[in-house]
Amino acid sequence: MNEPLRMCIVCRQMKPKEALIRVTLCKGETHINNDKQKYFGRSAYICKNEECVNTAIKKHSLNRAFHKEIDKQTYEELTKFI
């Protein structure tokens, strides 16, 4: 079986989707782990671990991934997954 791998925007490791938090930018709004809600747009993935989430918050990695200012609330929401 070929499991699709995605790259974490923080550590740049390829991991299966289950190990990652998915953030999608849809119509200017960010949605986290939106699989059921079917938002489409540019996605970024971050490992579900403290290290990558904390680094993403500290370095504002999502801003860089989306070339956009991402609000604090979105970053805070990431911590719910770790």
In the complex, the residues that contact Zn ion under the rule CB under 5 A are: 8, 10-11, 47, 52
- Separation of alpha carbons 75 and 16, rounded Å: 22
Q: What is the closest distance, in whole angstroms, from the C-beta atom of residue 4 to Zn ion in the complex?
A: 16
Assess contact for 44 and 9: CB atoms under 8 A: yes
Q: What is the closest distance, in whole angstroms, from the C-beta atom of residue 38 to Zn ion in the complex?
A: 25
Q: What is the closest distance, in whole angstroms, from the C-beta atom of residue 66 to Zn ion in the complex?
A: 17
Among 10, 28, 22, 14, which residue's Cα sits nearest to residue 67? Answer: 28
- State which residue, 29 or 79, has the beta carbon closest to Zn ion: 79
